[in-house]
Amino acid sequence: MSQMDIALITGASRGIGAAIAVRLAEEGYDIWLNYRSRHDAAEQVAGRIRDLGRECTLLPFDVSDESAVKEALDAPLKEQTPYILVNNSGINRDGLLFWMPPENWKDVLNVSLDGFFYVTSRVAGLMMQKKRGRIVNIVSTSGQTGMPGQVNYSAAKAGLIGATKALAKEVARSRVLVNAVSPGFIETDMTKDLPKAEILKMVPLRRFGTCEEVAAAVAFLCSDEASYITGQVLNVNGGVHM
């Protein structure tokens, strides 16, 4: 890592994304923190990062909006290339498929897949020119096993797993590593309304995970210790899927 290395994290104003941003700041990276609309939450995360002595640049834009991504990233990318890109943005719009409005299907896939494409296509080529970089995509156990009521979310995350493996092969010769981290049931806003007692019966470790545990897995994949790992899915799920 050089003194000025940067980590760009999407969807980082709260939850897993915020924990990843703080953990990578602890590891010595300056942070480009993307979020869509939660300005107060993003400022709080930025304050924690600055308290660690690292710089934090706030980049508010919707990853699923190609023109917004271009407007927000093209200028800073002319000046600097992040060493790390974490594609964390994602939304859920749960419901059974036969009752699902088309917009709930499109919105979930647009954020996870279009967002991945719009951001990564701008960053990966620059990493290849530098012949260094780490890309980590945050996926989900739902994309590995399928989850009833989450056909849209499962499809989006399964697609992102496929994209991770394909991109890893495309950029490997340029020494850019691409991996995914797949959280199971993590204590976040997305899981707060789930029937926890019933879910815990399915989890061998009998607890939900923490955002910090997911962030630790991301930090490992971005470290020198993971320099021979690419195209992999690292599960952080308490044993719910093996």
End-to-end CA distance of the chain: 33
Rounded to an integer, the average pLDDT of 130-134 is 97
Question: How many Å apart are CA 1 and CA 227, to the nearest integer?
Answer: 12
Matching residue, tokens 């924990």: 19
For residue 83, indicate whether it is catalytic: no
Dump pLDDT digits (tens) for 42-99: 999 999 999 999 999 999 999 999 999 999 999 999 999 999 999 999 999 999 999 9
Q: Structural domain boundaries of the chain?
A: 6-236
* Number of other CB atoms surrounding residue 25 within 10 Å: 24
- pLDDT tens track for 7-30: 999 999 999 999 999 999 999 999
Q: What is the pTM of this model?
A: 0.95
Number of H helices, E strands in the chain: 9, 7
Q: Could you tell me which CATH number the domain at 6-236 has?
A: 3.40.50.720
Can you tell me the distance from the alpha carbon of 236 to that of 138, in angstroms, rounded to the nearest whole number? 11
- Kindly state the DSSP code that residue 83 receives in the 8-state scheme: S
Selecting among 35, 118, 153, 228, the annotated active-site residue is 153
Of 8-12, 178-182, 184-188, least confident by mean pLDDT is 184-188
Residues in the chain: 242
- So what's the pLDDT on residue 2? 54
pLDDT value of position 1? 58
Q: What is the pLDDT of residue 194?
A: 76
Token reading at 88: 């964390």
- List the structure tokens of 46: 């930025």
Distance CA 151, CA 96 (A): 7
